[in-house]
Amino acid sequence: MAWTLCSKEDVTLIHPIQESELEDMWSDTVEGLIRQHMGQPNLGLSEVITNELHNGTGTPLMQVSKPPLLSVQAVRLNGEDGLTLGAGDYVVYPSGYIHLKYQDFPQGNLNVSLDYTGGAAAVDQVVRLTATAMIIAIINYRRRGGADASIKWGADDKKAGEPTANQEFGLTTHLQTIMKQLLRRPRARVR
């Protein structure tokens, strides 16, 4: 689904191009690269998941399969026909976890069933700017006809024994550089 992380208007506000010249494939490609880089396949999308089965672990914490978590509709213990917990019996963490307040998820194989809305419908402004900048990079590359794909760039500060001073700088390198400079990957803290 094209144009979910940024809009055609975002691109035309920064770069002089007609909206009709913007191709949906550029947006699909950029959004796929950003989702892969961030490790969030549902970034900018929301999806309703029903009857997602999990193994009970004997702990009060359960992680959903498609984070981030927007809302939880139902938590059922001991399978689909088992005990349905009320909204006051658990805490929902947007990072993708459900924490039971008064009990643990019972141990068992596929004995917990979840209904929830996963994904992130709201897009962070930095992600929006990154997607816009990457699409503009594609537009600029296209207008040059790919001429910079064969250009070799040399750096003055290379010393003996270091990798070669020549490096290729094409479209893919440019897109990766934009992502690395603007986007911070979410990292788990280990205590």
- Same domain? For 110 and 126 the reply is no
Q: For a pLDDT cut of 70, what percent of the chain falls above it? A: 81
- Residue 132 sits in which domain range? 8-43+122-182
For residue 60, whether the previous peptide bond is cis, meaning omega lies within 30 degrees of 0, is no
pLDDT tens digits, one per residue of 100-139: 999 999 999 999 999 999 877 778 899 999 999 999 999 9
Where does the pLDDT of residue 11 fall: very low under 50, low under 70, confident under 90, or very high at 90 and above? very high
Q: Is the pLDDT of residue 92 over 80?
A: yes
At 123 the pLDDT is 86
Domain boundary among 78, 101, 119: 119
At 122 the pLDDT is 77
pLDDT tens digits, one per residue of 140-156: 988 876 555 555 555 55
- Same domain? For 168 and 127 the reply is yes
Q: What's the pTM?
A: 0.65
